[in-house]
């Protein structure tokens, strides 16, 4: 296990070593990148070495003479460590060309340091094996990510977003600590291992508290509010790291907690499943409604977390109802989707970052036709879109398929579980459709068609390191899509050290992964065949170029292209009750109408609810209470006398 | 062997049936109508032509027809025509297949947006929306089938010991399923009352408007893909209608294609006697089919 | 020997009042260092007091003394350079009163006789009043007036409380000297009724001084109007001394078997203080007032921790240490801001990060620490207090505790980020200089180090402090 | 039969009532002098102090000096320097204050009866007086707007507390070191308050606390 600690050390060194070199940014970044990569590779090596060898203690000590800190590596941690170790270097690589070099020295330094710190903190979170260690790691993660979000601190909204994020993450953390405290009080030990002995009622209470706590980190509706604010505010590769990897720590915590309390109550699985469906569907609906490309991606993260939760929820239901196959496929699907989402969501954020860096514009309805200017970015982004829409032959489909399979297993069950499973299938279908609509929209509006406003000549392909990072991720997506077997087994392996040995048998998968691969390969074969025929047919055929057929409209301009707003309008309106659509449009008057401004925005009911029901009242009460301190010394003495009077009554 | 033959037969015959529809419509209109093989001629004509590409299009535009057609063909590979074992099949393939169709749709939409034409964008939006709803309905159908005979593959539905058939034990439920599937067929293949392939006003189109800029062999591929997709849905219905204990492959095949003819005739009749729905009615229409299937599922719960 | 710790600064302080300024400055720094040395000396090899009936080194007292002495020897040099910046007509008074203040606080920390403790704490009020009043603005005048009057009233009540405590000894068969140590031994024989009454008055009396709501009313005014070194001392050291008074009586009650009564009162006042502080921190325009309210909040946290007992006790003691370090550091940074921007309005301090980078680092890190994030110690202490509350079965208190803390973080975060990164409003009047930027950073560093590694003796001291009333450190 | 202690205590009570009712500063100062004298004498008349050590005698002389002479002189100078004759508009009117004072006496009598006090054999009146003085002091501070009146209130509060102390503690005053400390604090406190008063007066030409309401939220 020294290797793993070495990895941690290297990662942290990657944060500290650049600080003296900040005068030469490029140099500092290279050092950062090299050390970080080395650390992550060491970590991967450690994982490979200990793969499937059961629970291995990593490190333990006593902190402040009282609090035991202990780290241990088990299969679940390993599965969640893989994306961390894989993605952190790639994202850092992207960051090499992405961050502007004109930033002040301390800012760049803080950024590099926090980036490493966040990576290390995530590793620690997955390894933490008792309360103090987990709390420490969790808070370090929150802190570093908060500072990373604060990178563009000149902008008002990014400060607001960071503050909002800090609040949510602190709320979540404190809820978690309460949950942990309850279990501690019930069992009298900090060690996670013994917490399964707590009484049932305590376990339930703790679980729901923890669900809220982890949910606010993972971005489960309705605790997701910080997410669509923080991601647009942060630099794109930070968004990639946070959305791709960090929010998964919420899922990790939830699973870890679920397994360590080891409570058979079916309500747990049902709740998670239900929340998953809500997050999934509403997440993608809101994503459709958004026009800011990064905000859209943020909402789509919520959607994918929803899918992951559907998978895990099905797994939990499977445990509760003793259905091994369902358990295996549910968790395997959930974990694999977690991994896949880490890949393609980072990829998409990188693409968005490249676009924003080049055009300086993040509004869908003002972009377009970037395919010619930035071919690599465009192609990678398109691949990412296909993947995130969960379509074969890419990786998104593999995980969704497993979840579907688990859900179909669940359809057999009677009672609420069966109905929930059916609902899950329908929800997944709906999510799939909406997701593909959503991402045809993004890819189509940003990269295809014509530029909706003239592009400056400076808009060119993204920097080398950025392209490299994106290509790496595309290759990863493709490989999972085409050779799913090893990855499915990897995901399934995540369960091997947990309380359910039976469900982690690869035998349960049967020949399914192979068949899946077969199907996609058949499709690709057909495609290839057709492509050959097409090529053959097109030989010696006249190929002409012309403008798009304007349907008789003689003077088409780029500005008459279909906008993203109108593209999504019907689909968003279909979900009216959960979506608030504000449309402001001036009246059309006179015979020759003046140009009217039309604006519409889609609001998130959770956010509105929070404002109306929580924030506004608190601020109001606070204002009312401020008269306490209004200067009359006589009144102040009166308080003292009053307090005495009240207390003397208690004697 | 025979499954390969039946597949080949299907692939060959697919463009025939749409001709049937045209014929029916023409007869309703009191005309003689085009020859039955019209669609073959169209394809050949298109394949002979060259292509004109919009200057604003990219490789996506050229890729889309391939993907759409390939997806349709790949699906047919898994289909048990006339209850004969399909070429390939495995437990869970339906999910893959409908997602392959989804992939086709994805690229069609992308291609439409690639042209930058406002009308094609509009069509794309509609396609995306209605397609999503239809997909949900389709998966409801899958749930129903799964509850009926616990299999997750097209092959499993119609081959094996107790295939799903309207004459089977729970045929009553299947009537609902058949109706729903037929409605979905109309929606998914952009026929009346959801979409009118014969209209000439782009504003009212869905599928046709998306392929305005395709021409020549590309258009042929799209057409072909459309035929196969239509054929798939029709074949699903036909297999549902096929009685279980039919002796001999020949009888099966004959009955199957007979049923196919009936389905296409029904499409033709519908197209002749009904008008296209208003766009905002379409979601309700699809939800109706969904409701039918869901009702059937609830019934299976009652029986179980 | 023990008495030297407070008699030295008292004498030199009186002397400094009449010395020329330069000598006085030297004196201040020298006394600060010597005091720290003496403290460490008394801490490590416990010398016997010269007047055993009045003084003695209880672990709690030593803890408070250590904190006080440590932060004082950082504040003293800062104070000199701070005072140099704003032309101060009565600097000797400042220098002298700083030392007198230190002396009285040390006396309070070492007192073992209740009334001596009372005298010392009342004396802290009187010696710190000139510090607040030092720049004779109208507001300073008002703040001083309120400070002196309210605190005197409160502390007078504390005296009454001590009379009741002594009254509880009027029982046949109790013949012990009136010292806390003696009382603790005889606690179980004391009259519970009078102990309760006494505790109420002591709680209210010293609570006034400690800044527990609703007796906190003087605190924001005094802390915001005093020159920053004085505010740092008030907030970082004085509040602890007042807390010490309450803590000693609380121990007495716990030993007398009335722990629930006093504990619940402490929890109640603690929660109330946190909530009140939160209410006033939300959209607080004045950052020094914000810091002051945050002191109220942290005193509330300590009170809660002591009240719940169990792990909470250890948490509370850690919190006391780390709050002193962080808050005094924050006040020193605030002092640099006041000098730099010439205003106490947060809205006017935009762009601190660019204009006063070092101050910014100190201030922002302090903010992170105060909001309970690692690597600063308040993270641990609050975690332990929260867990302690649940461990000893106060779930409701835990819930309120959490909610109130969030309120505070919300307010603090908004203001701190706006100050650090907001748009630049006005240019810098006085540039920052190392002598004024190093002390805050040093205090922060101390907090981080103590959070990472705690020296064995210090740990022993804390354990002894809380062991008396059954405080456990191991779950 | 009426003992001397009763006389002293009754005078103290009267002084409280008078201070509540009187509007003139000078009168208040004189009343405080009287009260101080009474309070510092009272313990001597309790039988538990019948035999006094040397320190005892010295201490009580000193206390008399402080409470009955020094502090009133301080106040006197303050009032003359401030040059205000009377409390113009108190928050609570004089008649109301007087009634409140009477109510206070009733309250303290009630409290005294309900406290099971071991050591105060016959000195219930002492306790009544003590609590009344204490309450009266607080009442003055809450009901008057002139800063100087509040100082006087604070002094009255201290007197009350001291009386409570003498009434309750059966601790034989072996060494008076502690009491010296208390006294010293009191003295310095009043001095500092005097200084602040002076400054207030110099800044605002008045000692009305209405000028001291700038700091608020």
Distance from CA of C378 to the nearest CA of A (A): 12
A615 found inside a domain: yes
Are A519 and A629 within one domain? no
- pLDDT beyond 90 at A253: yes
Contact A188 C276 (CB under 8 A): no
pLDDT, averaged across chain D: 84
Average pLDDT for D16-22: 91
Contact D215 A631 (CB under 8 A): yes
The answer for A 392-421 residues in CB contact with D (under 8 A) is none
- pLDDT beyond 70 at D120: no
Band of residue A186 on the pLDDT scale cut at 50, 70, 90: very high
- pLDDT beyond 70 at C322: yes
Average pLDDT for A269-284: 96
Contact A153 C410 (CB under 8 A): no
Q: Is D24 helix (H, G, I), strand (E, B) or coil?
A: strand
Q: Let me know: does A494 contact A71? Beta carbons within 8 Å.
A: no
Q: Which residues of A touch D150 (CB under 8 A)?
A: 633
Q: Which residue in chain D is spatially nearest to C126 when comparing CA positions?
A: D189
Cβ–Cβ contact A535 with D under 8 A: no
Distance from CA of D175 to the nearest CA of A (A): 31
- Backbone torsions φ then ψ of A435, nearest 5 degrees: -65, -45
The C-alpha atoms of residue A376 and residue D70 are separated, in whole angstroms, by 92
- pLDDT beyond 90 at C101: yes
Ordered by start, the domain boundaries in chain C are 259-475
pLDDT > 90: percent of chain C: 76
pLDDT, averaged across chain A: 92
Cβ–Cβ contact B67 with A under 8 A: yes
Q: Let me know: does C381 contact C316? Beta carbons within 8 Å.
A: yes
Are A529 and A610 within one domain? no
Band of residue D183 on the pLDDT scale cut at 50, 70, 90: confident
- pLDDT beyond 70 at C42: yes
Closest C-alpha to B304, from A314, A270, A422: A422
- pLDDT beyond 70 at A503: no
pLDDT, averaged across chain C: 92
For A115-169, write each residue's pLDDT tens digit: 999 999 999 999 999 999 999 999 999 999 999 999 988 888 899 999 999 999 9
| Cβ contacts of A187 within 8 Å, gap of 6 or more | A194, A195, A197, A198
Residue A610: other Cβ atoms inside 10 A: 15
A449 Ramachandran zone, left/alpha/beta (phi>0; psi -120 to 50): left
pLDDT given for residue A223 in this prediction: 92
Contact C115 D215 (CB under 8 A): no
| Cβ contacts of A525 within 8 Å, gap of 6 or more | none
- pLDDT beyond 70 at D47: no
- pLDDT beyond 90 at C366: yes
Contact C196 A142 (CB under 8 A): no
- pLDDT beyond 90 at A342: yes
pLDDT > 90: percent of chain A: 71
Distance from CA of B263 to the nearest CA of A (A): 27
The answer for A 610-649 residues in CB contact with D (under 8 A) is 626, 629-634, 637-638, 641
Cβ–Cβ contact A618 with C under 8 A: yes
H helices of C218-258, in order, are 218-225, 228-233, 239-255
For D77-109, write each residue's pLDDT tens digit: 988 888 777 776 788 888 899 999 999 999 998
- pLDDT beyond 60 at D74: yes
What is the tally of helices (H) and strands (E) in chain C?
20, 0
- The whole domain housing A637 covers 604-651
The answer for D 150-169 residues in CB contact with A (under 8 A) is 150
Chains touching A (at least 3 CB pairs under 8 A) are B, C, D
Q: Which residue in chain A is spatially nearest to B124 when comparing CA positions?
A: A567
Chains A and C touch (3+ CB pairs under 8 A): yes
- Backbone torsions φ then ψ of A407, nearest 5 degrees: -60, -40
DSSP state of A50: T
ipTM entry: 0.92
| Cβ contacts of C130 within 8 Å, gap of 6 or more | C93, C94, C97, D192
Instruction: Please state the three-class secondary structure of A74-132 as a single string.
Output: CHHHHHHHHHHHHHHHHHHHHHHHHCCCCCCHHHHHHHHHHHHHHHHHHHHHHHECEHH
Residues of chain B with pLDDT under 70: 303-304
Tokens of B241: 């209608």
Q: Let me know: does C298 contact C327? Beta carbons within 8 Å.
A: yes
The C-alpha atoms of residue C79 and residue C98 are separated, in whole angstroms, by 9
Q: Which helix (H) or strand (E) holds B253?
A: helix B249-273
Give pTM, 2 decimals.
0.94
More confident site: A55 or A101: A55
Q: Which residue in chain A is spatially nearest to D144 when comparing CA positions?
A: A634
Residue count (chain D): 217
Are A273 and A368 within one domain? yes
| Pairing assessment for the beta strands A67-73 and A56-63 based on DSSP bridges | antiparallel
The answer for B 106-125 residues in CB contact with A (under 8 A) is 106, 109-110, 113-122, 124-125
Are A506 and A610 within one domain? no
The C-alpha atoms of residue A126 and residue A123 are separated, in whole angstroms, by 5
A177 found inside a domain: no
pLDDT given for residue C475 in this prediction: 47
Residue C39: other Cβ atoms inside 10 A: 23
A530 found inside a domain: yes
The answer for A 360-379 residues in CB contact with B (under 8 A) is 368-369, 371-372
Tokens of A634: 């006589």
pLDDT given for residue A343 in this prediction: 96
Are A283 and A320 within one domain? yes
Are A327 and A441 within one domain? yes
For C9-24, write each residue's pLDDT tens digit: 999 999 999 999 999 9
For A387-418, write each residue's pLDDT tens digit: 999 998 899 999 999 999 999 999 988 889 99
Chains D and C touch (3+ CB pairs under 8 A): yes
pLDDT given for residue A504 in this prediction: 67
Q: Name the residue among C146, C391, C406 with its Cβ closest to that of A184.
A: C391
A550 found inside a domain: no
């Amino acid at each position: 296990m020294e290797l793993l600690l070495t990895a941690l050390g290297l990662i942290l060194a990657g944060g500290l070593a650049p600080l003296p070199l900040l005068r030469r940014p490029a140099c500092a970044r290279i050092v950062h990148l090299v050390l970080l990569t080395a650390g992550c590779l060491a970590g991967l090596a450690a994982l490979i070495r200990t793969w499937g060898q059961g629970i291995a203690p990593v490190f333990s000590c006593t902190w402040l003479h009282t609090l035991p800190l202990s780290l241990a590596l088990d299969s679940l941690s390993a599965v969640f460590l893989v994306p961390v170790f894989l993605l952190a270097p790639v994202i850092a690589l992207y960051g090499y060309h992405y961050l502007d070099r004109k930033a002040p020295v301390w800012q760049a330094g803080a950024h590099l340091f926090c980036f490493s710190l966040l990576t290390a903190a995530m590793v620690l979170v997955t390894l933490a094996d008792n309360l103090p260690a987990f709390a420490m790691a969790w808070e370090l993660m929150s802190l570093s990510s908060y500072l990373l979000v604060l990178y563009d601190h000149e902008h008002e909204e990014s400060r607001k977003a960071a503050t909002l994020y800090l609040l949510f993450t602190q709320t979540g953390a404190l809820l978690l600590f309460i949950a942990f405290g309850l279990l501690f009080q019930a069992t009298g030990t900090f060690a996670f291992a013994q917490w399964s002995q707590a009484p049932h009622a305590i376990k339930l209470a703790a679980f729901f508290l923890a669900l809220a706590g982890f949910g606010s980190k993972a971005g489960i509706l309705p605790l997701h509010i910080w997410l669509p604010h923080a991601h647009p505010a942060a630099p794109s590769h930070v968004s990639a790291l946070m959305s791709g990897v960090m929010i998964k720590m919420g899922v990790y915590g939830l699973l870890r907690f679920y397994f360590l309390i080891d409570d058979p109550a079916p309500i747990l699985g049902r709740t998670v499943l239900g929340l998953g469906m809500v997050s999934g569907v509403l997440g993608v609906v809101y994503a459709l409604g958004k026009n800011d490309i990064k905000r859209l991606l943020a909402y789509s993260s919520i959607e994918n977390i929803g899918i992951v939760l559907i998978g895990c929820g099905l797994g939990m239901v499977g445990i509760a109802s003793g259905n091994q196959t369902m358990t295996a496929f549910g968790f395997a699907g959930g974990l694999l989707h977690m991994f896949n989402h880490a890949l393609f969501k980072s990829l998409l954020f990188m693409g968005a970052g490249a676009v924003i860096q080049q055009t300086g514009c993040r509004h869908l309805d003002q972009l377009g036709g970037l395919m010619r200017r930035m071919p690599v970015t465009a192609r990678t982004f398109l691949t990412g879109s296909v993947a995130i829409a969960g379509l074969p032959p890419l990786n998104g489909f593999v995980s969704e398929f497993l979840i579907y399979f688990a859900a179909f297993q669940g359809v057999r069950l009677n009672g609420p579980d069966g109905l929930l499973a059916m609902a899950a299938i329908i929800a997944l279908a709906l999510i799939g459709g909406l997701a593909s609509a959503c991402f045809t929209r993004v890819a189509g509006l940003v990269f295809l068609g014509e530029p909706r406003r003239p592009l400056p000549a400076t808009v060119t392909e993204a920097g080398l390191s950025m392209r490299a990072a994106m290509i790496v991720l595309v290759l990863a997506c493709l490989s999972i899509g085409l050779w799913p077997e090893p990855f499915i087994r990897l995901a399934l392996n995540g369960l091997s050290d947990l309380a359910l040995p039976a469900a982690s048998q690869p035998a349960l998968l049967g020949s399914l992964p192979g068949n899946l691969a077969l199907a996609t390969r058949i499709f690709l074969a057909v495609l290839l065949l057709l492509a050959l025929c097409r090529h053959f047919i097109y030989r010696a055929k006249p190929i002409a170029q012309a403008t798009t057929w304007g349907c008789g409209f003689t003077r088409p301009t780029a500005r008459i292209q279909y906008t993203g707003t109108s593209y999504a309008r019907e689909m968003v309106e279909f979900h009216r009750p959960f979506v608030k659509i504000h449309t402001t449009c001036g009246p059309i008057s006179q015979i020759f109408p003046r140009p009217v401004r039309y604006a519409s925005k889609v609001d998130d009911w959770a956010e509105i609810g929070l404002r109306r029901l929580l924030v506004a009242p608190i601020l109001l009460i606070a204002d009312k209470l401020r008269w306490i301190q209004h200067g009359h010394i006589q009144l102040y003495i009166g308080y003292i006398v009053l307090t005495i009077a009240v207390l003397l009554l208690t004697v | 062997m025979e499954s390969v033959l039946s597949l080949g037969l299907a692939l060959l015959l697919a463009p025939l049936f749409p001709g049937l529809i045209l014929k029916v419509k023409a007869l309703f209109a009191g005309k003689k109508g085009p020859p039955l093989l019209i669609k073959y001629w169209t394809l050949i004509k298109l394949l002979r032509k060259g292509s004109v590409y919009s200057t604003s299009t990219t490789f996506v535009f050229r890729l889309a027809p391939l993907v759409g057609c390939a997806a349709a063909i790949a699906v047919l590979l898994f289909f048990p025509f006339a209850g004969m074992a399909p070429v390939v099949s495995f437990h869970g393939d339906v999910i893959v297949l409908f997602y392959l169709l989804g992939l086709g749709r994805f690229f069609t939409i992308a291609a439409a947006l690639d042209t930058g034409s406002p009308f094609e964008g509009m069509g794309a939006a509609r396609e995306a929306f209605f397609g999503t709803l239809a997909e949900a309905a389709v998966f409801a159908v899958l749930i129903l089938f799964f509850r009926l005979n616990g299999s997750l593959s097209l092959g499993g539905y119609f081959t094996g010991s107790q295939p799903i058939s309207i004459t089977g034990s729970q045929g009553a439920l299947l009537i609902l399923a058949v109706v729903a599937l037929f409605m979905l067929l109309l929606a998914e293949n952009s026929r009346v009352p959801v979409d009118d392939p014969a209209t000439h006003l782009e504003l009212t189109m869905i599928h046709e408007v998306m392929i305005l800029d395709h021409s020549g062999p590309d258009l042929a591929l799209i057409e072909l893909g459309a035929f196969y997709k239509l054929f798939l849905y029709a074949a699903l219905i036909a297999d549902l209608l096929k009685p279980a204990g039919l002796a001999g492959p020949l009888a099966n095949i004959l009955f199957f294609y007979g049923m196919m003819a009936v389905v296409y005739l029904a499409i033709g009749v519908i197209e002749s006697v009904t008008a296209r729905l208003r766009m905002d009615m379409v979601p309700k229409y699809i939800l109706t089919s969904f409701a039918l299937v869901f009702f059937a599922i609830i019934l299976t719960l009652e029986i179980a | 020997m023990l008495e030297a710790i407070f008699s030295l600064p008292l004498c030199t302080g009186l002397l400094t009042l009449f010395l020329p300024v330069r000598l006085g400055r030297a004196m201040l720094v020298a006394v600060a260092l010597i005091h720290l040395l003496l403290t460490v000396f008394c801490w490590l090899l416990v010398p016997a007091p010269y007047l055993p009936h009045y003084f003695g080194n209880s672990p709690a007292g030593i803890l408070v003394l250590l904190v006080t002495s440590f932060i004082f020897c950082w504040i003293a040099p800062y104070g000199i350079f701070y005072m140099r910046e704003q032309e101060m007509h009565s600097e000797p008074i400042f220098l002298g009163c700083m030392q007198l203040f230190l002396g009285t606080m040390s006396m309070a920390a070492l007192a073992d006789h209740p009334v001596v403790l009372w005298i010392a704490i009342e004396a802290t009020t009187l010696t710190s009043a000139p510090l607040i009043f030092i720049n004779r603005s109208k507001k300073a005048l008002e703040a001083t007036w309120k400070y002196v009057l309210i605190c005197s009233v409160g502390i007078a009540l504390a005296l009454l409380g001590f009379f009741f405590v002594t009254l509880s000894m009027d029982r046949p068969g109790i013949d012990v000297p009136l010292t806390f140590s003696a009382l603790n031994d005889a606690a179980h024989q004391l009259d519970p009724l009078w102990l309760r009454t006494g505790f109420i008055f002591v709680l209210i009396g010293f609570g006034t001084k400690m800044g527990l709501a609703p007796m906190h009313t003087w605190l924001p005014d005094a802390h915001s109007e005093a020159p920053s070194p004085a505010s740092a001392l008030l907030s970082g050291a004085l509040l602890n001394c007042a807390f010490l008074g309450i803590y000693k009586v609380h121990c007495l009650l716990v030993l007398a078997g009335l722990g629930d009564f006093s504990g619940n009162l402490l929890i109640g006042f603690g929660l109330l203080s946190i909530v009140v502080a939160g209410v006033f921190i939300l959209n607080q325009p004045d950052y020094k007032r914000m810091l002051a309210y945050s002191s109220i909040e942290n005193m509330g946290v300590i009170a809660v921790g002591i009240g719940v007992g169990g792990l909470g006790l250890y948490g509370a003691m850690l919190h006391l240490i780390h709050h002193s370090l962080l808050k005094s550091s924050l006040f020193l940074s605030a002092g640099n801001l006041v000098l730099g921007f010439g205003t106490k309005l947060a809205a006017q301090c935009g762009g601190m990060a660019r204009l006063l980078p070092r101050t910014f680092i100190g201030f922002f890190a302090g903010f992170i620490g105060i909001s309970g994030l690692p690597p600063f110690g308040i993270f641990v202490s609050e975690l332990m207090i929260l867990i302690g509350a649940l461990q000893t079965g106060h779930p409701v208190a835990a819930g309120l505790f959490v909610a109130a803390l969030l309120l505070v973080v919300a307010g603090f975060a908004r203001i701190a980020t706006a100050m650090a990164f907001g748009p630049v409003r006005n240019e810098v009047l006085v540039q920052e200089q190392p002598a004024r930027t190093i002390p805050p950073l040093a205090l922060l560093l101390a907090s981080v180090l103590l959070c990472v590694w705690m020296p064995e003796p210090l740990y022993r001291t804390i354990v002894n402090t809380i062991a008396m009333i059954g405080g456990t450190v191991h779950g | 039969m009426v003992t001397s202690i009763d006389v002293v205590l009754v005078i103290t009570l009267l002084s409280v009532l008078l201070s509540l009712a009187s509007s003139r500063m000078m009168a208040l100062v004189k009343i405080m002098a009287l009260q101080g004298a009474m309070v510092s004498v009272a313990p001597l008349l309790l039988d538990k102090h019948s035999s006094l050590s040397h320190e005892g005698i010295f201490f009580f002389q000193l206390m008399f000096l402080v409470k009955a002479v020094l502090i009133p002189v301080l106040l006197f100078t303050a009032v003359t320097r401030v040059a205000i004759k009377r409390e113009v508009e108190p928050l609570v009117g004089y008649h109301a204050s007087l009634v409140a004072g009477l109510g206070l006496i009733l309250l303290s009598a009630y409290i005294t009866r309900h406290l099971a006090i071991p050591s105060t054999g016959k000195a219930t009146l002492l306790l009544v007086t003590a609590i009344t003085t204490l309450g009266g002091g607080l009442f003055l501070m809450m009901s008057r707007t002139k800063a100087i009146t509040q100082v006087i209130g604070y002094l009255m509060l201290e007197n009350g507390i001291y009386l409570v102390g003498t009434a309750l503690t059966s601790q034989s005053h072996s060494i008076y070191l502690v009491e010296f400390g208390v006294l010293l604090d009191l003295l310095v406190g009043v001095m500092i308050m005097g200084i602040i008063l002076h400054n207030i007066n110099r800044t605002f030409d008045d000692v009305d606390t209405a000028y001291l309401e700038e700091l608020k939220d």
